[in-house]
Structure 1
Amino acid sequence: MSSAVEKKYYLNLPLWPEFDIFDKTVDGLIPSARIESWEDYDRVVRFYCDNDHEDNYVFRGQKHYKWQLEPTLDRLVHCAVTENVAEKQLRNFKLSTRGRLQDKSVLNSDTELWALGQHHGLATPLLDWSQSPYVAMFFAFEGADDPTWVDDDTGELNNYSRTVFILNKSFIQDLIDDEGILQAGEQLQIVEPSIDDHGRLVNQAGLFSFAPYGEILESSLERHLAESGVDTDDVKEVAKYICRIHIPNEKDTRQACLKKLRKMNIHHASLFPDLIGASGYCNDLIRDSIVSSEKDRQNEEVSATLIDEKKQRSEKFESISQYLLDKAKVKGFLNDGLLTNEFVARSVTPQQINYVIDELFSFINEKAGVDWYKKESVLARLRNILRRAMRKQQFPEDHIDSSAQTLIQIAARESIIIEKEDWLQDEGDE
Structure 2
Amino acid sequence: MEEILVSNWNEFVGLSSELDGWAFRGQEEAGWPLLSSLSRYLNSFIPDRTTWRSREERAIRIFRRKAHNYLPDPRVLDNDLRCLALMQHHGAPTRLLDFTKSPFVAAFFALEQADSDAAVFALNTPKLWHATPASNPGLSRDAIDPRIDGNFDRYFLQNNSDLLWIGEPEEMDRRLVAQSGTMVVPGVVDKSLDKILNEYHAGTCLIKKLVLSQTMREQAMKALYRMNITNATLFPDLDGLARSIRVELEVVWQAEPGPGNL
Same fold flag (TM > 0.5): yes
Q: Residues 178 and 64 (structure 1 numbering): CA distance in 2 closer, same or farther, change over 3 Å?
A: closer
Does 1:83 find its partner at 2:39? no
> Contact 1:255–1:288 at 8 Å: present in 2 too?
no
Q: 1: distance between equivalents of 2:200 and 2:234?
A: 33
> Contact 1:71–1:127 at 8 Å: present in 2 too?
yes
Q: 2: distance between equivalents of 1:103 and 1:195?
A: 13
Structure 1 position 176, deviation (Å): 1.7
Partner of 2:164: 188
Cα distance per residue 1:324-378 (max 9 Å; x no partner) = xxxxxxxxxxxxxxxxxxxxxxxxxxxxxxxxxxxxxxxxxxxxxxxxxxxxxxx
> Contact 2:39–2:190 at 8 Å: present in 1 too?
no
> Contact 1:203–1:272 at 8 Å: present in 2 too?
yes
> Contact 1:72–1:124 at 8 Å: present in 2 too?
yes
Aligned match for 1:211, one of 186, 195, 216:
186
Partner of 1:306: none
> Contact 1:38–1:248 at 8 Å: present in 2 too?
no
In proportion to residue count, which structure has more strand? 2
Aligned match for 2:124, one of 168, 175, 192:
168
Q: 1: distance between equivalents of 2:68 and 2:81?
A: 18
Q: Which amino acid aligns with 1:249?
A: Q
Partner of 2:235: 272
Partner of 1:122: 92
Partner of 1:40: 11
Partner of 1:102: 72
RMSD: 2.5
Partner of 2:207: 242
> Contact 1:190–1:207 at 8 Å: present in 2 too?
yes
Q: 2: distance between equivalents of 1:176 and 1:202?
A: 22
Q: Residues 110 and 178 (structure 1 numbering): CA distance in 2 closer, same or farther, change over 3 Å?
A: closer
Where 1:99 maps in the other structure, the secondary structure is helix
Q: 1: distance between equivalents of 2:171 and 2:184?
A: 16
Structure 1 regions of 5+ residues with no counterpart?
1-29, 50-54, 146-158, 231-236, 294-430
Q: 2: distance between equivalents of 1:120 and 1:266?
A: 21
In proportion to residue count, which structure has more helix? 1
Structure 1 position 245, deviation (Å): 0.8
Partner of 2:106: 136
Partner of 2:28: 63
> Contact 2:100–2:181 at 8 Å: present in 1 too?
yes
Aligned match for 2:196, one of 198, 210, 220:
220
Cα distance per residue 1:277-298 (max 9 Å; x no partner) = 1112233213333x979xxxxx
Partner of 2:259: none
Structure 1 position 196, deviation (Å): 3.6
Q: 1: distance between equivalents of 2:164 and 2:2?
A: 19
Larger gyration radius, structure 1 or structure 2? 1
Structure 1 position 66, deviation (Å): 0.8
> Contact 1:111–1:191 at 8 Å: present in 2 too?
no
Q: 2: distance between equivalents of 1:106 and 1:271?
A: 22
TM-score of the pair, normalised by structure 2:
0.79
Share of identical aligned residues, percent?
A: 30
Q: 2: distance between equivalents of 1:96 and 1:32?
A: 43
Structure 1 position 214, deviation (Å): 4.4
Q: Residues 261 and 245 (structure 1 numbering): CA distance in 2 closer, same or farther, change over 3 Å?
A: same
Cα distance per residue 1:300-340 (max 9 Å; x no partner) = xxxxxxxxxxxxxxxxxxxxxxxxxxxxxxxxxxxxxxxxx
Partner of 1:8: none
> Contact 1:200–1:272 at 8 Å: present in 2 too?
yes
Q: 2: distance between equivalents of 1:259 and 1:219?
A: 35
Q: 1: distance between equivalents of 2:99 and 2:240?
A: 18
